[in-house]
Chain A
Amino acid sequence: MKRLTGLLTILIITLGVAIYLAQNIIPPENLHPLGEYYLENSYFGEHSAKSPEVVTSILWDYRGVDTLFETAVFFLAIIGSLTIFRLNREQSEEAKQGEPKPQLPEPVVVVTKLTVAMILAVSASIALHGQLTPGGGFQGGSALAVAPLLVIAAYTKYALEKNGLDKTRAIIIRSIGLLGIALTALTPLLVSGYIMQNQPIFPGEALGVPLGGSLVLYNLFEYLAVGAGFTAVFLLLSIPEEKFKKFLGVRR
């Protein structure tokens, strides 16, 4: 009875709020002038980013410096976690010793193989079509990071490391991504432009596909950096606790 009263109260409040909102909130008829500017300019206008995807144009072109600093914050966080879990050479060698055998039954392993292949394709499509469809580097990179996570869960982290994707490689890929973003941001300075300028320095189209100038480059490098950064952290987090306690000298 008490539960029923609670449920009924929630139902009545929800209905009341819904009815109130439906009558009193009217969608705005006119666009915000700033929004109108972005919509008109991102592909066709005078100050074009040469990309039909307005959100990506705002993120990496009109408000590019903002996104650059957001990326910096994210990578400081990654660097922070890598520093907390730092190991010397012998310790990281020992952390790699283990049996790369699947821990789960056969069907799970087979499905994981298929899923990992699909995730790689989908994440690349999210990132590299970021200037055409919703998506972009960060979103694609986050999707990419799910692939090593699945491999760690279904096989072991040792399987990932034996196949060549260890922490050092992940950090190198991540650094390549960051360097690419920095170079793409600084290149316009050499051509007597401004920092992070897009048009007309970068090509707006290749083989009939709109590239959005620098947008596709930023997305590609962000994709690599985010995916590899997450992978490095996942590899560290999947080191068994006993090994870590041994490294740190924790006594039972």
Chain B
Amino acid sequence: MNILFLLGAILVTIGGICDLFGAIGLLKFPNFYVRLHAATIGTIGGAAIPLFGVALLALGTNIPHKHAIAGASLITGIITLLAAPAGATALAYAAHKTNAVEWKPKIDHLKEARK
């Protein structure tokens, strides 16, 4: 068995587990900010990492156009890796600014910084 193929398969499996945890967290976590954390697990762990895994899987096999598939997955993964945190940051910032979430934080650094 090819080492690249094995690594890729492991990454895809990790992605599946992250997706499952993200889904459970999204349903069970108490407030918006923590649920946003679960959603980010779903996008980074459940989308970006499996895409890198698919790139390795493609390189480890002998299918036609394997480099094109690997390159496309790699670039999509990197774009997801860039875009997902930015989107989550924007959502959390907007929610904090409009005071739309009911929560009881122990420490609220953002509020202190704004004062």
Interface residue ranges, A against B (CB under 8 Å): 104-105, 107-108, 110-112, 114-115, 118, 153-154
A110 cross-chain contacts in B, Cβ below 8 A:
86
B86 shortest CB reach to chain A, Å: 4
Residues of B within 8 A of A153 (CB): 90
In the assembled complex, the CB of A50 is this many whole angstroms from the nearest CB of chain B, namely 26
A153 to B82, CA, bound (A): 17
- Pick 6 A–B contacts, CB within 8 A, sort by A: A104-B89, A107-B86, A111-B82, A115-B83, A118-B79, A154-B90
Tell me the interface secondary structure of chain B in the complex: helix
What is the CB-to-nearest-CB distance from A108 to chain B, in angstroms, rounded to a whole number? 5
Number of B positions contacting A (CB below 8 A): 8
Distance in Å: Cβ of B75 to nearest Cβ of chain A: 10
Task: Kindly name the residue among B89, B90, B93 whose own CB sees the greatest number of chain A CB atoms within 10 A.
Answer: B90
Between A and B, how many residue pairs show CB distances below 8 Å? 27
Contacts of B85 in A (CB 8 A): 107, 111
- A107 contacts which chain B residues (CB < 8 A)? 85-86, 89
In the complex, which residues 60-87 of chain B have their Cβ closer than 8 Å to any Cβ of chain A? 79, 82-83, 85-86
| Cα A104 to Cα B87 with chains together (Å) | 11
- Interface on chain A toward B: helix, strand, loop, or mixed SS? helix
B residues in contact with A112, CB < 8 Å: 86
CB distance from B82 to the nearest CB of A (A): 5
Smallest Cβ distance from B13 to chain A, in angstroms? 26
Closest to B94 in A: A104
Most chain A beta-carbon contacts within 10 A, residue among B83, B85, B86? B86
The answer to whether B82 and A105 have CB atoms under 8 Å apart is no
Q: Given the complex of chains A and B, what is the CA–CA distance between A112 and B93 in angstroms?
A: 15
Q: Which residues of B contact A114 (CB under 8 A)?
A: 82
B79:A108 contact, CB within 8 angstroms: no
B90 near A104: Cβ-Cβ < 8 Å: yes
Q: How far is the CA of A105 from the CA of B83 in the complex (A)?
A: 14
Judge whether A104 and B79 touch: CB under 8 Å: no
17 additional A-B residue pairs with CB within 8 Å, beyond A108-B89, A108-B90: A104-B90, A105-B89, A105-B90, A107-B85, A107-B86, A107-B89, A108-B86, A108-B93, A111-B82, A111-B85, A111-B86, A114-B82, A115-B79, A115-B82, A115-B86, A153-B90, A154-B90
